[in-house]
């Protein structure tokens, strides 16, 4: 029989030390100019265990932008408001073999592949009700609730940089306006850029992972948003599309619902158990944190967490 080690700070520190060097294989995202300023050396690893206890190692105070990780929060808010059927009326549940900013089959069926790629995420944000910045404020409020951290805000410089250079995203937005999927103004696209620019720490990400792993119950037991059906939806999307075109191989290697962002963060849900949050800015060719991936792989193997291996 195999024995799993005790979940201690020492073990997490060991995992961080062993996998840190992988960061050298990646490259900090620079297609959004402001993101290129991120330090390549900072690294953090956080776990919220099954009892809701937080364990942090590394650069725990280091803030980075959520980027695509915000898509799972927007999906939650949109489904809460409109119901799943309405949200998926014009969008698929598909996995993907295409990069996050690919147009997918927008030009063929007119419908985004899933809410985890940019096109579907932009459509999702447009379905959150309210004028101007309202939709973004709802997403921000939910991030603050889940992490129990009211200091969380968005980074204005990153937001402006995204807005200025986000031509592909603007293109997707207008194709969906053209086909009648999106009715609103460019404020809705700005809300997408703003939610991508929300700044968090690895600990915040671990708490988000815990929340979706545990039927939308917060790490401290607050059950205000408890919803087993919603957490199943979010985790299933994380599993099939959360790591973009790497999702299939990731599911094979790690077997845990996860969502990455080009800021270098990854949030992981261990269903029914814990949440994991990692940060290391250098990315692989898919836009996933290289050292982050390796730390999660090491952790999931040591603690036998792959959901396909009971």
Judged by the rule CB under 6 A, the positions of this chain that interact with ligand GLN are: 67-68, 100-101, 118, 162, 169, 196, 261-262, 287
Provide the minimum distance between the beta carbon of 101 and ligand GLN in the complex, in angstroms, as a whole number: 5
Q: Which residue lies nearer to ligand GLN by CB, 55 or 266?
A: 266
Q: What CA–CA distance (Å, rounded) separates 310 from 129?
A: 41
**Would you say 162 or 203 has its CB closer to ligand GLN?**
162
Q: Which of 167/221 has CB closer to ligand GLN?
A: 167
- The tokens describing 50, both together, are 């099954």
Q: Is 81 exposed, middle or buried (0-12, 13-18, 19+ CB in 10 A)?
A: middle
Distance (Å, rounded) from C-alpha 255 to C-alpha 122?
27
> Helix, strand, or coil here: 148?
coil
Nearer to ligand GLN, 77 or 283 (CB): 283
- DSSP label at 5? P
The answer to whether 118 is annotated as binding is yes
Measured from the CB atom, the residue of 23 and 57 that comes closer to ligand GLN is 23
In whole angstroms, how close is the CB of 264 to ligand GLN at the nearest point? 10
Angstrom distance (rounded) from CA 60 to CA 83: 36
Q: Is 162 annotated as a binding residue?
A: yes
> Between vectors from CA 39 to CA 57 and to CA 291, what angle results, nearest 5°?
55
Indicate the burial class of 6 (C-beta count within 10 angstroms; 0-12, 13-18, 19 or more).
Answer: exposed
Sign of CA dihedral 194, 196, 199, 205: positive
**Alpha carbon of 264 to those of 39, 45, 88, 198, 254: distances in Å?**
10, 12, 28, 13, 18
85 is in an annotated binding site: no
Least CB distance to ligand GLN at residue 218 (A): 24
The answer on whether 169 is annotated among ligand-binding residues is: yes
Q: Which is nearer to ligand GLN, 103 or 303 (CB)?
A: 103
Instruction: Decide: 223 and 90 in contact? Cβ < 8 Å.
Output: no
Q: What residue numbers does the annotated binding site for substrate cover?
A: 68, 118, 162, 169, 192, 244, 262
């Amino acid at each position: 029989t195999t024995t799993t080690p005790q979940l201690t700070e020492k073990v997490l520190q060991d995992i961080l030390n062993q996998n840190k060097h992988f960061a050298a294989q990646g490259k900090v995202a620079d297609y959004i100019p402001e993101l290129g300023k991120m330090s390549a050396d900072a690294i953090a690893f956080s776990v919220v265990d099954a009892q809701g206890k937080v364990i942090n190692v590394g650069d725990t105070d280091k803030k980075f932008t959520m980027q695509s990780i915000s898509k799972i929060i927007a999906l939650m808010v949109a489904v809460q408001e409109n119901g799943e059927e309405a949200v998926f009326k014009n969008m698929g549940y598909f996995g993907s073999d295409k990069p996050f900013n690919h147009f997918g089959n927008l030009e063929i069926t007119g419908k985004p592949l899933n809410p985890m790629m940019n096109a579907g995420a932009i459509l999702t944000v447009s379905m959150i009700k309210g004028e101007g910045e309202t939709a973004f404020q709802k997403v921000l409020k939910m991030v603050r609730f889940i992490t129990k951290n009211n200091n969380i805000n968005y980074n204005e410089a990153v937001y402006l940089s995204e807005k200025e250079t986000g031509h592909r995203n603007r293109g997707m937005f207008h194709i969906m306006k053209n086909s009648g999927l999106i009715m609103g103004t460019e404020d809705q696209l700005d809300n997408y850029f703003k939610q991508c620019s929300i700044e968090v720490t690895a600990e915040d990400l671990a708490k988000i992972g815990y929340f979706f792993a545990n039927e939308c119950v917060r790490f401290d037991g607050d059950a205000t948003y408890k919803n087993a059906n919603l957490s199943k939806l979010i985790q299933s999307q994380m599993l099939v599309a959360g790591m973009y075109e790497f999702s299939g191989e990731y599911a094979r290697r790690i077997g845990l619902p996860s969502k990455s962002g080009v800021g270098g963060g990854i949030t992981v849900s261990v269903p029914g158990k814990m949440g994991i949050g990692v940060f290391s800015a250098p990315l692989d060719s898919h836009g996933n944190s290289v050292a982050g991936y390796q730390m999660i792989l090491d952790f999931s193997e040591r603690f036998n967490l792959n959901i396909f291996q009971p």
